[in-house]
Amino acid sequence: MATLRLRLTLAAAAVLLVSCATAPRGSPLPEAPPDPASAPALRVEVDGIPIHAFDQGPEDADILVLGVHGWGASGAEGLAFGRALGREAVSAEAADSRAPTVRLVSPDLPGSGASGKPEAPYTPEWFVAILDGLREALRRDRVVLAGHSLGGRLALEYTLAHPERVEALILLAPAGLSDSFYPLDRWALGRDSIIRAGTRLTTERLYMRFYRKRVVRDPRYAYPDVAAWAVAGLLTPEGRSALREVTRHALAAPDLTDRLDEIEVPVLLVWGRDDEVLRFESSAAYRELLPDLRGFLALEDCGHHPQTERSARTARAAYEFLAGLRAAGTSPP
């Protein structure tokens, strides 16, 4: 019986990694995959923790967007989006010199990528303090937060804690609602033995399977160099420990449904209809409860990564959203 329980636990530990989704293969990729190793980046220190962040756009841009990545990922997952966002800004400025410029800074959150991996709580509140320290290091009074998946939850938490420091939110298939998780994933998140086993047994092969089969709808958008940037940090002893604590304390944190009506900043919500990680249907709660939802982009034939799989369409919606706020005078520099 003990052996059977062990086998069941080990099998369940891979729940978040090995579930499969059928992926279309017909449409061509729009451009070359991003290369994290050669992408512009900056390094700062926040509370003694070294933070590596990808940096796209002019330093003195009118709008600073902080990209907040999801569980088990890294700031490299914002590179395709940042490239497309930059093109939108350049195109807009060519048509109208008054069009706002945009800078996207996408950090590897502590515990991820090339940033430090300290022994730390890894709670939403702890990440909020890290994001605020990064904002201060970048010398901005107010920022836009573009949060994907778990990063969407952290963006919401930051806004609840510091509403005066947030111009607007771009939520990309955000976590934060228990109903967003598929039932088996929600069950696994409630069992510490599975979380421990899952983070201990994660391999590069399992990570890439998860990326190709669940994260993206079309596996060709599972850019190997972007995945490798995250995997290199996660598979160290410090990275595994950090991932375990992030899963326990941030991904499995209490539901935010009752607090969505406190988010008073303008919001753009983006979700892929074929998301196999967080249920598209849960977008209805955000649409109903967010007081200042300015736009909702539902992307066809798109999985959990709209900023990668539909980077051009997502960037166009994001730039129009931000430019519209500035033009209306509701989001000053």
Q: pLDDT tens digits, residue range 208-225?
A: 999 999 999 999 999 999
pLDDT for residue 28: 53
| In the predicted structure, residue 236 carries a pLDDT above the cut 60 | yes
Confidence of residue 19 (pLDDT cuts 50, 70, 90): very low
Q: How crowded is residue 32: how many other Cβ atoms within 10 Å of its Cβ?
A: 9
Strands in 293-299's sheet, in edge-to-edge order, are 41-46, 49-56, 102-107, 63-68, 143-148, 166-172, 267-272, 293-299
* pTM, two decimal places: 0.91
Model confidence at 331: pLDDT above 60: no
Looking at the chain, the whole-number percentage of residues with pLDDT higher than 70 is 89
Q: Distance between CA 265 and CA 164 in Å, rounded?
A: 9
Average pLDDT, the chain: 90
Q: What is the pLDDT of residue 7?
A: 39
Give the CATH superfamily of 38-327.
Answer: Alpha/Beta hydrolase fold, catalytic domain (3.40.50.1820)
Q: Tell me which DSSP letter residue 123 carries.
A: -
Question: Is residue 190 very low, low, confident or very high in pLDDT (cuts 50, 70, 90)?
Answer: confident
Q: 200 falls in which pLDDT band (50, 70, 90)? A: confident
pLDDT of residue 98: 94
With a cut of 70, say whether residue 17 has pLDDT above it.
Answer: no
Nearest 5°: phi and psi at 108?
-75, 110
Kindly indicate the confidence band of residue 31, based on its pLDDT and cuts at 50, 70 and 90.
Answer: confident
Residue 55: CB atoms within 10 A of its CB come to 18
pLDDT at 145 over 50: yes
Comparing 330 with 166, the larger pLDDT belongs to 166
Length of the chain (residues):
333
Query: Residue 25's pLDDT is what?
Result: 47
Domain borders along the chain are 38-327
Q: What is the pLDDT of residues 72-107, one digit of tens each?
A: 999 999 999 999 999 999 999 999 999 999 999 999
Mean pLDDT on 97-119:
97
Give me the pLDDT at residue 179, please.
Answer: 95
Q: Which of 26-35, 161-170, 203-212 has the lowest mean pLDDT?
A: 26-35
List the structure tokens of 286: 């955000």
Tell me the C-alpha distance between 44 and 136, whole Å: 10
- Name the nearest CA neighbour of 263 among 134, 149, 166: 166
What is the per-residue pLDDT for 329?
65
Confidence at residue 194, expressed as pLDDT on a 0 to 100 scale: 86
| Confidence label for 29 from pLDDT (cuts 50, 70 and 90) | low
Asked whether 72 and 243 are in contact (CB, 8 A), the reply is: yes
Question: Is the pLDDT score of 13 beyond 90?
Answer: no
Give the separation between CA 306 and CA 172, rounded to whole angstroms: 7
